[in-house]
Amino acid sequence: MNLDNLLKQNKDAIVKKWLILIFETYPADTAKFMKRQKDPFANPVGNTLSVNLGPLFDELLNEMNYETITSCLYPILRVRAVQPILSSSQSTGFIFLLKKVIKESLKKELSDKNILNELLYFETKIDELTLIAFDIYLKCREKVYEIKANEERNRTFRAFERAGLLTEISADGPSL
């Protein structure tokens, strides 16, 4: 038996353990809530992770189509990019947790050198996935900073306007 078959057979258990480890990257109360709450409206972060981790894992087992990967990663990283409790490494590092889950889940099978070699190759795919995730995360953070800068600019403009420090300039330009 090869690694791909083992991963396909154990997919549900691996993805579930991966999800639990990701939940544990949050503070204890938040992690407990995410594990318990199944309502997608009450727990949008947990729901986003639950919905996207399975297809993401499938893509690792397949050809790693960039569009499919980004469509799975984007919702996860968009949420993690606005969470101030997570650093950049924590926001994207959740992908590395998959390595740990796979090694724990297939501990007995990894004594076979062929499967171990296949795992090393599979781990390079996980590393590639992490790099893609980091790029997506940075784009999300850039958007957050752009929104904050626009809000601050608009707030300052409105304050100057209220203070009477700004006047409208006619279409002809300022008069001399």
Element (H, E) at 53: helix 44-61
Average pLDDT over residues 73-78: 95
Predicted confidence at residue 157, as pLDDT, reads: 82
Q: What's the Cα-to-Cα distance from 56 to each of 19, 64, 76, 95, 160, rounded to whole Å?
A: 12, 9, 11, 10, 49
Amino acid of residue 171: A
- The range of the structural domain enclosing residue 107 comes to 3-161
Q: pTM for the complete prediction?
A: 0.82
Is 48 within a domain?
yes
User: Is the predicted pLDDT of residue 37 greater than 80, yes or no?
Assistant: yes
Is 172 within a domain?
no
Is 171 within a domain?
no
User: Is the predicted pLDDT of residue 167 greater than 80, yes or no?
Assistant: no
The tally of domains found in the chain comes to: 1
CA separation for the pair 128, 154 (Å, rounded): 39
Average pLDDT over residues 38-61: 93
User: Is the predicted pLDDT of residue 159 greater than 90, yes or no?
Assistant: no
Predicted confidence at residue 26, as pLDDT, reads: 87
Is 67 within a domain?
yes
Backbone dihedral region of 173: left (phi > 0), alpha (psi from -120 to 50 degrees) or beta? Answer: left
Which of these, 90, 82, 79, 73, lies nearest to 43 by C-alpha position? 79
Is 169 within a domain?
no
Amino acid of residue 23: F
145 three-class SS: helix
Place of tokens 């279409």: 171
Cβ atoms within 10 Å of 59's Cβ, excluding its own: 20
State the pLDDT confidence band at 169, using cuts at 50, 70 and 90. Answer: low
Q: What percent of the chain is predicted at pLDDT more than 90?
A: 66
Is 73 within a domain?
yes
Is 66 within a domain?
yes
CA separation for the pair 122, 124 (Å, rounded): 5
Is 21 within a domain?
yes
